[in-house]
């Protein structure tokens, strides 16, 4: 289809027509019918017809406030007229005599000071091209402003992450270092053993070091994943997995943190639960994030419950409930947004990316994640996973 002329060009025809169409197959026939009727009504040298595809130049459709296609618009000579609908050909035939009269009245020699290289501002083609350029520039300015705002938000977020990461890494690094130093002080290379520590205490120290290193790894994993952007595609490697084993493994890795706050862990995970078809490490990320949050927002002596049920023939539902602070109902969806942190969380460690990452992972498994909560009574996070049907 024809493009608009250069804004500095000037049509040699006083009668200028625009035909707006879309990409439907019927558009070719509509173009043919209009051209055939125009050839029947007048000489080709007496008018200028331009065909515009609204999918390629939507700013022009916006400029003329088009609601439907096809549409035929006379832009010169004035006054401007528009015909739309299935009977616009009949309307064109009826209006043509009047247009011919307007055309003859519009034909006049250019004033002495006017140059053919400098279009008159009253030219319909010039007006159209100028409006087109103005709308395109407006769209470009709007797009650049959006990009600028997004870049500023990313820079601000990265500054916050660097500051919080430096702060949050200090605690688990210190705990892991203390555990290793404890083992190192009592270790005798010649004897190949650790003195002054019972086997049970050695096991506990090693478990503490491993737990803290997992916390560090989780922080770095979340940050790196977010660095790829919210629209980045997650690499998912699906395989049949026994969900109970994964759940118990995650709880065991965080048991020390629960014991430090005297939090009771309850489970309700049927042994005959069918295998799920998932990326094990990604779902481990989700479970660790949710359990970690539950521990963080549950007071000393509180309770956490992890349960699973075979919800349908194709889905297993996992639920993680706590007796913590709870979440206001109007913020149930907000907490899954990228970089969002509730007012209550400003003094807590974290980056506002954990739940958003969980949501992306669950959606990549064609599942859903949501929350139920009552203020000061606790929260329950639920998500679904596909059952392995093989």
The pLDDT of residue 109: 52
Domain count, the chain: 3
The pLDDT of residue 353: 60
The pLDDT of residue 279: 93
Mean pLDDT, the chain, integer: 77
CB 339 within 8 Å of CB 354 = no
Query: How far, CA to CA in Å, does 40 sit from each of 92, 103, 181, 213, 335?
Result: 12, 17, 97, 83, 66
Does a structural domain hold residue 88?
Answer: yes
Q: Which among 88, 108, 128 is the end of a domain?
A: 108
**CATH number reported for the structural domain that contains residue 104 in this entry:** 3.40.30.10
Does a structural domain hold residue 5?
Answer: no
Does a structural domain hold residue 114?
Answer: no
Q: Are residues 243 and 213 in the same domain?
A: no
Does a structural domain hold residue 253?
Answer: yes
Position with higher pLDDT, 52 vs 101: 52
CB atoms within 10 A of CB 240: 14
| Residue 370 pLDDT greater than 60, yes or no | yes
Q: Which among 227, 253, 271 is the end of a domain?
A: 227
Q: Are residues 297 and 172 in the same domain?
A: no
Does a structural domain hold residue 131?
Answer: no
**CATH number reported for the structural domain that contains residue 339 in this entry:** 3.30.565.10
Tell me the three-class secondary structure of the chain, residue by residue: CCCCCCCCCCCCCCEEEEEEECCCCHHHHHHHHHHHHHHHHCCHHHEEEEEEECCCCHHHHHHCCCCCCCEEEEEECCCCEEEECCCHHHHHHHHHHHHHHHHHHHCCCCCCCCCCCCCCCCCHHHHHHHHHHHHHHHHHHHHHHHHHHHHHHHHHHHHHHHHHHHHHHHHHHHHHHHHHHHHHHHEECCCCEECCCCHHHHHHHHHHHHHHHHHHHHHHHHHHHHHCCCCCCCCCCCEEECHHHHHHHHHHHCHHHHHHCCCEEEEECCCCCCCEEECHHHHHHHHHHHHHHHHHHCCCCCEEEEEEECCCCCEEEEEEEECCCCCCHHHCCHHHCCCCCCHHHCCCCCCCCHHHHHHHHHHHCCCCEEEEEECCCEEEEEEEEEECCC
The pLDDT of residue 6: 40
pLDDT-derived band at 162, boundaries 50, 70, 90: low
Does a structural domain hold residue 274?
Answer: yes
Instruction: Please state which of the ranges 90-99, 174-183, 315-324, 353-362 shows the lowest mean pLDDT.
Output: 174-183
Q: Are residues 363 and 250 in the same domain?
A: yes
| Residue 161 pLDDT greater than 90, yes or no | no
**CATH number reported for the structural domain that contains residue 204 in this entry:** 1.10.287.130
Does a structural domain hold residue 233?
Answer: no
d(CA 102, CA 14): 9
CB 253 within 8 Å of CB 288 = yes
Does a structural domain hold residue 178?
Answer: yes
Q: Are residues 305 and 262 in the same domain?
A: yes
Residue range 178-223, pLDDT digits in tens: 878 877 776 665 555 556 667 777 777 787 787 777 777 766 766 6
Q: Are residues 264 and 351 in the same domain?
A: yes
| Residue 148 pLDDT greater than 50, yes or no | yes
Q: Which residue range(s) make up the domain with 365?
A: 239-386
Matching residue, tokens 């006049």: 108
The pLDDT of residue 160: 61
Q: Are residues 379 and 246 in the same domain?
A: yes
pLDDT-derived band at 120, boundaries 50, 70, 90: very low
| Residue 348 pLDDT greater than 70, yes or no | no
Residue range 237-250, pLDDT digits in tens: 899 999 999 999 99
The pLDDT of residue 380: 94
Residue 383 neighbours by CB under 8 Å, 6+ apart: 286, 317, 318, 358, 362, 367, 368, 369, 370
The pLDDT of residue 108: 52
Percentage of residues in the chain with pLDDT exceeding 70?
A: 72
The pair of three-digit structure tokens given for residue 42, joined into one six-digit string: 């007048």
Q: Are residues 357 and 305 in the same domain?
A: yes
Q: Are residues 279 and 358 in the same domain?
A: yes
**Residues 356-363, mean pLDDT to the nearest whole number:** 87
Pairing verdict, β 15-21 and 47-53: parallel
Instruction: Please state which of the ranges 115-119, 168-172, 352-356, 373-377 shows the lowest mean pLDDT.
Output: 115-119
Position with higher pLDDT, 322 vs 124: 322
CB 380 within 8 Å of CB 321 = yes
pLDDT-derived band at 132, boundaries 50, 70, 90: low
**Residues 353-361, mean pLDDT to the nearest whole number:** 81
Q: Which among 108, 127, 161 is the end of a domain?
A: 108
Q: Are residues 210 and 243 in the same domain?
A: no
Q: Which of 127-136, 205-214, 225-234, 302-311 has the largest mean confidence?
A: 302-311
pLDDT-derived band at 159, boundaries 50, 70, 90: low
Residue range 243-289, pLDDT digits in tens: 999 999 999 888 888 988 999 999 999 999 999 999 998 899 899 88
Residue 199 neighbours by CB under 8 Å, 6+ apart: none
Q: Are residues 168 and 279 in the same domain?
A: no
Percentage of residues in the chain with pLDDT exceeding 90?
A: 21
Cα-Cα-Cα-Cα dihedral sign, residues 303, 309, 311, 317: positive
CB 383 within 8 Å of CB 368 = yes
CB 45 within 8 Å of CB 97 = no
Q: Are residues 372 and 316 in the same domain?
A: yes
Q: Are residues 208 and 284 in the same domain?
A: no
| Residue 139 pLDDT greater than 50, yes or no | yes
């Amino acid at each position: 289809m024809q493009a608009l002329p250069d804004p500095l060009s000037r049509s040699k025809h006083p009668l200028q027509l625009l035909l707006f169409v879309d990409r439907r197959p019927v558009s070719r026939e509509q173009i043919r019918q209009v051209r055939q009727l125009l050839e029947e009504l007048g000489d080709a040298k007496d008018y200028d017809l331009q065909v515009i595809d609204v999918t390629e130049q939507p700013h022009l459709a916006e400029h003329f406030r088009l609601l439907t296609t096809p549409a035929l618009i006379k832009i010169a000579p004035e006054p401007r007229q528009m015909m739309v609908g299935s009977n616009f050909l009949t309307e064109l035939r009826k209006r043509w005599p009047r247009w011919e009269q307007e055309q003859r009245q519009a034909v006049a020699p250019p004033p002495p000071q006017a140059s053919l290289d400098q279009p008159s501002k009253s030219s319909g083609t010039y007006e159209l091209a100028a409006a087109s350029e103005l709308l395109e520039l407006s769209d470009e300015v709007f797009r650049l402003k959006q990009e600028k705002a997004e870049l500023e938000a990313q820079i601000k977020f990265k500054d916050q992450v660097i500051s919080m990461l430096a702060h949050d890494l200090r605690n688990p690094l210190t705990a892991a270092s203390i555990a290793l130093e404890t083992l190192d002080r009592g270790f005798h290379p010649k004897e190949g053993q650790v003195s002054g520590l019972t086997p049970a205490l050695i096991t506990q120290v090693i478990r503490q070091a491993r737990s803290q290193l997992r916390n560090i790894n989780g922080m770095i994993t979340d940050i790196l994943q977010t660095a790829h952007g919210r629209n980045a595609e997650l690499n998912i490697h699906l395989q049949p997995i026994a969900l109970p084993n994964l759940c118990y493994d995650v709880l065991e890795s965080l048991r020390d943190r629960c014991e430090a706050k005297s939090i009771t862990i309850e489970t309700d995970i049927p042994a005959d639960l069918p295998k799920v078809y998932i990326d094990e490490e990604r779902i481990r990320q989700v479970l660790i994030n949710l359990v970690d949050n539950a521990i963080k927002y549950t007071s000393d002596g509180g309770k956490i419950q992890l349960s699973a049920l075979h919800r349908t023939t194709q889905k297993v539902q996992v639920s993680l409930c706590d007796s913590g602070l709870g979440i206001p109902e109007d913020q149930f969806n907000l907490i899954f947004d990228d970089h969002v942190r509730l007012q209550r969380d400003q003094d807590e460690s974290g980056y506002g990316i954990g739940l958003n990452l969980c949501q992306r992972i669950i959606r990549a498994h064609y599942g859903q994640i949501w929350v139920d909560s009552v203020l000061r009574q606790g929260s329950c996070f639920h998500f679904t996973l596909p059952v392995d049907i093989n």
